[in-house]
């Protein structure tokens, strides 16, 4: 019979207790470290005060107007690129007569499509204005347009999250 | 407006690559390099996936 089986007849040695009993004395060096404040020369982690109100405003503006969140944070380059990218994707997608999903879809996929499309913010609201003829997915181009509009919305949500992270101080 | 499938894919890949580069990199040189890399990766993967699925359609 192997020695490490539970049925071994050898006496069992209990391991030493890992918990300190109340009567045991603490190590003096440990006690000193616990009581004394950290030395002023030690690197102190920078205090973070995330501005939650600013982050909320940035999120709302960033969703409504692509790049608007970065604009509030004076990130001009990112704001310009964000607006241009979402605008081009949404405009081309709508001009190709891509489908824009309504808020009350027939099934879960329609709802997901709505979430993606609505991410484009103002471009979702202006969809009827940009392409008055409406969607036409009977042709392949209309199907490609549907994907481009959804991509514009999802990209804008990603851009909005980036702006929120900057507003909260989690990203430079 | 009519674009072919390949043109649509190129437009998508270009715009998404540029946005990813601006969001994830700080300096212009890094952004250019990352955008080019992501754009080529998008195209390469799309063409490779197309050829992988080619036998299914025939």
Asked if B11 lies within 8 A of A92 by C-beta distance, the reply is yes
Q: Whole domain around residue A158: which residue ranges?
A: 52-167
Weakest-pLDDT range from A12-21, A83-92, A125-134: A12-21
CA atoms of A31 and A96, how far apart (whole Å): 72
Residues in B touching A161 (Cβ below 8 Å): none
Asked if A81 lies within 8 A of B8 by C-beta distance, the reply is no
First to last CA, chain B: 30
Identify whether A85 is part of a domain.
Answer: yes
Give the tens place of pLDDT for each residue, B3-56: 899 999 999 999 999 999 999 999 999 999 999 999 999 999 999 999 999 999
Identify whether A5 is part of a domain.
Answer: no
Give the tens place of pLDDT for each residue, A51-103: 889 999 999 999 999 999 999 999 999 999 999 999 999 999 999 999 999 98
| φ, ψ for residue B4, nearest 5 deg | -75, 170
Asked if A95 lies within 8 A of B18 by C-beta distance, the reply is no
Identify whether A96 is part of a domain.
Answer: yes
Q: Does B3 reach chain A within 8 Å, measured CB to CB?
A: yes
Q: How far is B7 from chain A (nearest CA, A)?
A: 10
Identify whether A46 is part of a domain.
Answer: no
Q: Does A140 reach chain B within 8 Å, measured CB to CB?
A: yes
Between A6 and A81, the more confident residue is A81
Number of domains in chain A: 1
Identify whether A31 is part of a domain.
Answer: no
Do A113 and A137 contact (CB within 8 A), yes or no? Answer: no
Q: Does B5 reach chain A within 8 Å, measured CB to CB?
A: yes
The pTM of the full predicted model, rounded to 2 decimals, is 0.75
Determine the residue of chain B that is closest to A77 in CA distance: B22
DSSP secondary structure, B1-44, as one string: ----HHHHHHHHHHHHHHHHHHHH--SHHHHHHHHHHHHHHHHH
Q: What is the pLDDT of residue A45?
A: 55
Residue with tokens 């009519």: B2
Asked if B19 lies within 8 A of A147 by C-beta distance, the reply is no
Identify whether A103 is part of a domain.
Answer: yes
Identify whether A12 is part of a domain.
Answer: no
Identify whether A121 is part of a domain.
Answer: yes
Q: Does B11 reach chain A within 8 Å, measured CB to CB?
A: yes
Asked if A140 lies within 8 A of B5 by C-beta distance, the reply is yes
Q: Output DSSP code: residue A46.
A: P
| CB contact set of A119 (below 8 Å; sequence gap of 6+) | A63, A152, A153, A154, A155, A156, A157, A160
Smallest Cα–Cα separation from A86: which of A108, A64, A101? A64
Between A137 and A32, the more confident residue is A137
Smallest Cα–Cα separation from A117: which of A71, A163, A149, A73? A149
Asked if A151 lies within 8 A of B12 by C-beta distance, the reply is yes
Q: What is the pLDDT of residue A139?
A: 87
Residues in A touching B8 (Cβ below 8 Å): 96, 144, 147-148
């Amino acid at each position: 019979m192997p020695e490490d089986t539970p049925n071994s007849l050898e006496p069992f040695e209990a391991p030493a207790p890992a918990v300190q009993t109340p009567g045991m004395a603490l190590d003096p060096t440990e006690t000193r470290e616990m009581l004394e404040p950290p030395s002023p020369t030690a690197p102190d982690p920078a205090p973070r005060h995330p501005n939650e109100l600013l982050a909320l405003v940035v999120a709302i503006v960033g969703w409504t107007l692509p790049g608007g969140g970065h604009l509030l944070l004076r990130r001009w380059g990112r704001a310009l690129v964000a607006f241009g990218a979402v605008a081009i994707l949404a405009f081309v997608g709508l001009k190709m007569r891509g489908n824009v999903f309504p808020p009350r879809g027939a099934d879960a996929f329609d709802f997901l499509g709505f979430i993606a499309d609505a991410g484009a913010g103002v471009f979702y609201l202006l969809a009827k204005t940009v392409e008055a003829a409406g969607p036409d997915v009977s042709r392949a181009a209309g199907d490609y347009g549907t994907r481009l509009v959804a991509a514009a919305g999802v990209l804008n949500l990603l851009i909005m999250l980036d702006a929120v992270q900057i507003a909260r101080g989690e990203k430079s | 407006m009519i674009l072919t499938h390949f043109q649509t894919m190129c437009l998508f890949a270009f715009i998404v690559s540029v946005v990813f580069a601006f969001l994830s990199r700080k300096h212009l040189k890094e952004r250019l390099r990352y955008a080019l890399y992501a754009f080529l990766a998008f195209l390469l993967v799309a063409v490779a996936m197309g050829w992988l699925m080619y036998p299914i359609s025939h």
